[in-house]
């Protein structure tokens, strides 16, 4: 009888084991979901999505990818104990399938630092489909990262993607290789000049968890001068980069996100240069609830494009000062409605550039006067005076000129960052 009872009890335990295991697994999944939801996430890096197009230099956005792995490197401006990634298919014509994805601390070129590679999941699955026009956010991957540290994000795209949602002027090298190379240490990725581009693909943001839950994120919003044209590739020398470094050095570290798009305008959409600033401001600058301050440097292309008859500068209506001021006021209203402090930045001088004329120079002077004196912005960053030649204020100082007389070099971008009054940043 005892043997029979023992056998019966044993049978009951065995029979119950699958149910117990299932319940335990469900509890673990609920705990994981709860952990993910309870974490305080902070945007540490961002790039404004654009339609696929030629851009300022060759890129892969129009051809897209097929059975290839893409590796991209970016420097974050906030630290934490875990990382997650945001993918955008905003301008895709078909769903985007990502079969595998990893994040790691960046080494030299396409290499990753040993022991830092983590596989990313989406709802605990290593693959995900991003719907047309949509965005997805990965689960968090445990990886301790520091502010101003560079990360590598690698994704395997097993099917033909068609034209890719991109950020065309990334000024950081992107690599690709055939097959699934998401776990590769770096050797599979060609590095020759003809094998890489300097655009971003599908990545719209990187978030970190584990830091303080503060509303102190800074967003730089504007065109190519915010995007960093002239700073050099793989240098992290744009003015928002320099501003993040300056804040950290001053003992006030915080995320600084770059929402610039080269060629962007406040008032006009462009197939090459993105949705107009009035429409994308809410999405690219104000959507994150942690944003406390936005720096607006915008309007130079609205003024300059009308002075040049080139296909790439279309549409190029002749905008009046009243239209430009109305555009700035609309941005201010949007920021105020979200409780965000908004700093107006003066437009840079551009004498010698291709669309400098007496008419465009006069508009710049008058718009800058309004930004400085109207009192409508919460504060002013006088970038114009920071980089102007003292002997000819309508021209960039030679030491700050990237060579086209319109975009600063790395030294000029640092001078711009130095012109921001840190006391005015929330």
Q: Please, which pLDDT band fits residue 313 given cuts at 50, 70 and 90?
A: confident
Domain ranges of the chain: 1-38, 43-205, 214-424
221 within 8 A of 295, measured Cβ to Cβ: yes
> pLDDT (tens digit, 9 = 90+) per residue, 158-192?
999 999 999 999 999 999 999 999 999 999 999 99
Which segment of 33-47, 233-247, 336-350 scores lowest on mean pLDDT? 33-47
- What pTM, to 2 d.p., does this model score? 0.91
Assess whether the region 43-205 and the region 214-424 belong to the same CATH fold. Answer: no
Instruction: Check pLDDT > 80 for residue 20.
Output: no
Output the CATH code of domain 214-424: 3.40.50.1110
Tens digit of each residue's pLDDT (9 = 90 or more) over 177-235: 999 999 999 999 999 999 999 999 999 999 999 867 789 999 999 999 999 999 999 99
pLDDT of residue 37: 54
**What does the pLDDT look like over 242-286, one tens digit per residue?**
999 999 999 999 999 999 999 999 999 999 999 999 999 999 999
Provide the total of helices (H) and of strands (E) in the chain, helices listed first.
9, 21
pLDDT digits (tens, 9 = 90+) for 357-395: 999 999 999 999 999 999 999 999 999 999 999 999 999
Q: Is the pLDDT of residue 12 over 80?
A: no
Question: What is the per-residue pLDDT for 21?
Answer: 44
Q: Which of 267, 380, 388 is nearest to 321 (CA)?
A: 267
Two structure tokens written together for 283: 């999405």
**Domain 43-205 coded CATH 1.20.1070:** no
Average predicted confidence (pLDDT) for the chain: 92
Instruction: Print burial letters for 91-123: b (CB count within 10 Å at least 16), e (below 16).
Output: bbeeebebbbbbbbbbbeebbbbeebbbebbbe
How many whole angstroms separate alpha carbon 342 and alpha carbon 332? 7
Q: What pLDDT shows up at residue 36?
A: 52
């Amino acid at each position: 009888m005892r043997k029979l009872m023992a056998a019966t009890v044993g049978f009951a335990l065995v029979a119950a084991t699958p149910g117990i295991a299932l319940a335990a697994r469900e509890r673990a999944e609920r705990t994981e979901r709860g952990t993910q939801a309870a974490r305080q996430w902070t945007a540490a890096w961002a790039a404004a999505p654009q339609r696929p197009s030629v851009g300022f230099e060759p890129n892969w956005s129009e051809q897209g990818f097929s059975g290839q792995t893409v590796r991209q490197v970016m420097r974050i401006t906030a630290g934490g104990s875990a990382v997650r990634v945001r993918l955008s298919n905003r301008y895709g014509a078909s769903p985007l399938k990502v079969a595998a994805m990893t994040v790691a601390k960046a080494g030299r070129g396409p290499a990753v630092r040993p022991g830092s590679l983590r596989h990313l999941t989406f709802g605990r699955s290593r693959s995900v489909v991003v719907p047309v026009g949509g965005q997805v956010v990965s689960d968090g991957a445990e990886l301790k990262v520091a502010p101003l540290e560079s990360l590598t994000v690698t994704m395997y795209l097993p099917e033909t993607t068609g034209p890719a949602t991109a950020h065309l002027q990334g000024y950081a090298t992107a690599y690709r290789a055939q097959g699934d190379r998401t776990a590769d240490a770096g050797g599979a990725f060609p590095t020759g000049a003809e094998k890489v581009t300097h655009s971003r693909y599908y990545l719209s943001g990187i978030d970190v968890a584990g830091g303080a839950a503060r509303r102190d994120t800074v967003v730089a919003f504007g065109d190519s001068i915010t995007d960093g044209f002239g700073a050099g590739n793989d240098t992290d020398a744009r003015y928002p980069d320099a501003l993040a470094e300056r804040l950290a050095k001053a003992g006030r570290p915080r995320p600084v996100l770059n929402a610039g798009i080269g060629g962007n305008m406040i008032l006009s959409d462009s197939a090459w240069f993105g949705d107009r600033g009035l429409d994308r401001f809410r999405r690219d600058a104000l959507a994150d609830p942690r944003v406390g301050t936005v720096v607006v440097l915008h309007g130079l292309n609205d003024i300059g494009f009308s002075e040049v008859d080139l296909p790439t500068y279309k549409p190029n209506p002749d905008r009046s000062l009243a239209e430009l001021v109305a555009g700035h006021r609309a941005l201010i209203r949007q920021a105020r409605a979200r409780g965000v402090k908004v700093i107006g930045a003066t437009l840079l001088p551009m004498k010698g550039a291709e669309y400098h004329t007496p008419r465009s120079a006069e508009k710049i002077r008058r718009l800058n006067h309004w930004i400085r004196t109207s009192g409508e912005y919460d504060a002013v960053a006088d970038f114009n005076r920071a980089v102007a030649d003292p002997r000819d204020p309508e021209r960039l100082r030679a030491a700050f000129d990237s060579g086209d007389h319109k975009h600063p070099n790395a030294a000029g971008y640092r001078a711009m960052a130095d012109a921001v009054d840190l006391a005015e940043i929330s």
